[in-house]
Structure 1
Amino acid sequence: MPTPHKNKTLATLLAFLLGGAGLHRFYLRGKNDTWGWLHVAAAAAVGLVMAAAPRADIYFKLLPLIVSVLIGFLEALVLGLMSDEKWDAAFNAGSGRRSEARWPLAIILVSTLMVGAGGLIAAIARLFDLLYTGGAYG
């Protein structure tokens, strides 16, 4: 029985939009994917940090989720920029179909780069503000 065909554009879109929840990992590798469950665990970690340090800055409370989302953006770029041949060898070996990336993938990649780079710069700026000035600029 052939394995189901995995769509590279859909996987990249899932990583871009819902990468912080690890849904792209579950789409590609199933429910037994350890890294996918680590993305889910980031949300639980936010709850633990909020319970353990209720007076901490919200940035530190959300830091596990912020890191998970940024990793999701990176994974979207890695998946989307993978060649179709390498993609098929990794995820569609038994499907009997070949992947052909089209222009929507390029739009998703450009959007991922814009939002991901902006998010990374904002996270670094806020972290340095909190660590070096105690949050004096926000």
Structure 2
Amino acid sequence: MAIRHKNKTLSTLLAALFGGLGAHRFYLYGKKDVWAWVHVLALPLSIFAGFIGALVIGLTPDEKWDAQYNPQSGRSSNSGWAVILMVVVTFALGSTALIATIARAFDLYLTGGAFG
């Protein structure tokens, strides 16, 4: 039975888009991964964890990625510019979401939510 090659670009995309649901963890580790199910159960915090996961996956060097996830697949990863663009977009979305969350928290704390 051939070992399935795990694609770094697809993992980064799954973490960026569906990281809050743990899609990247299900792809990498399967349905028995406990942390993937924690993502599903704790969705609001998991969205930020998904953004961080996308950054970590996307910034992992291809050689280290292959050593960890594809040791016997017989193929090597060549992620290219697509991963870098996903990392930049993920960083922009994640930082925007974080700033919006902090602003809303201060709005609720200081004004009781008077501005929205």
TM-score by length of 1: 0.80
CA contact (8 A) 1:8 1:101 kept: yes
Residue 123 in 1 paired to residue 93 in 2? Answer: no
Q: Which residue of 2 aligns with 1:25?
A: 25
Give the letter aligned to residue 36 of structure 2: G
Consecutive unaligned residues in structure 2, runs of 5 or more: none
CA contact (8 A) 1:2 1:96 kept: no
Deviation for aligned residue 1:40 = 1.1
List 4+ stretches of structure 1 deviating above 6 A.
none
Identity of aligned residues (%): 57
Q: Distance in 2 between matches of 1:136 and 1:108?
A: 36
Residue number among 59, 66, 89 corresponding to 1:81 in the alignment: 59
Consecutive unaligned residues in structure 1, runs of 5 or more: 43-64
Question: Considering only aligned residues, what root-mean-square deviation do their CA atoms show, in Å?
Answer: 1.1
Instruction: Give the number of aligned pairs.
Output: 116
TM-score by length of 2: 0.94
Residue 113 in 1 paired to residue 91 in 2? Answer: yes
Q: Which residue of 2 aligns with 1:4?
A: 4
